[in-house]
Amino acid sequence: MFNKKILIITILVVIIGLIIISISTNAFDRFICSSSEKTTEIQNPLNKTEENQMTAIEENNSEAVNSPLKSKIKLPEPQYSSNTSIEEALLKRKSIRDYQKKSISLENVSQILWAAQGITNKAKGKRTAPSAGALYPLEIYLLVGNVNDLASGIYKYKPEGHELILIAEGDRRNELSKYSAQPEAIQDAPITLVISAVYKRTSAKYGERASRYVHIEVGHSAQNVCLQIISLGLSTVTIGAFQDGQVKKAVQLLENEDPLYIMPIGFAK
């Protein structure tokens, strides 16, 4: 009788023990799984969002394929020399806020975009402006209102193919000007650059220091444009005073892109 009791108690202890082991193993598995997911997330913080957003752009563009406008515009090859010395460009650079309502050429647009973020070394993917860790957080948007051989619209510059991707048709300069300092400059100048940034590209590697790096890079890119346009006989003003959220909407930036600088470009009055 006594032996039977001991046997039953032993069996119960073994069963309870097995249940406890099984529960704790599951919990451990779940812990391992979630922490490894977290690790992947930290290693690739951008992939999912950027992939989705690029798909969104492609979808946006596939609509445009059916329109008379082309969704992708291959830009003319940029020039790598000019009659303007770097010293002359530095001497002549100044902010201009009054523009003629005069068109510029597609060649000019090509040259300006190349100066802003163009590729200088195809093998290594290096660009005209330095970038912390060569992570290139900047995205250049172009508002076209008066360019020969280029329909009005919002375009995004793709440095890799030196091409433009159509984001939206139509002249959007007036819309953008509502939310920025120097509205008349934006309304009259034939093009306006909106330099934006994806901070995460840089913060994934540099953490809190990233915003400093991104802001420095915008300066590099904008200065390239300031100097390049002198050799083209054009002018600009670098605008930092604008309503971020409204500009983001007006230019149709992607969710993870923030506008940092606006540059109307054209012939000075």
Site of interaction with ligand FMN (CB under 6 A) = 94-95, 97, 181-182, 237-241
Between residues 40 and 95, which has the closer beta carbon with respect to ligand FMN?
95
Q: How far is CA 202 from CA 23, 108, 113, in A?
A: 42, 30, 22
Q: Would you say 205 or 215 has its CB closer to ligand FMN?
A: 215
**89 within 8 A of 224, measured Cβ to Cβ:** no
Tell me the residue number closest to ligand FMN, measured at CB: 240
Q: Which helix or strand (DSSP H or E) is residue 193 part of?
A: strand 191-197
Cα→Cα distances 197→26, 41, 59, 71, 202, Å = 43, 21, 22, 22, 10
Q: Provide the token pair at 53.
A: 């957003």
Nearer to ligand FMN, 73 or 229 (CB): 229
- Longest pairwise C-alpha distance within the chain: 111
**Residue position matching structure tokens 């819309």:** 175
Q: Which is nearer to ligand FMN, 53 or 238 (CB)?
A: 238
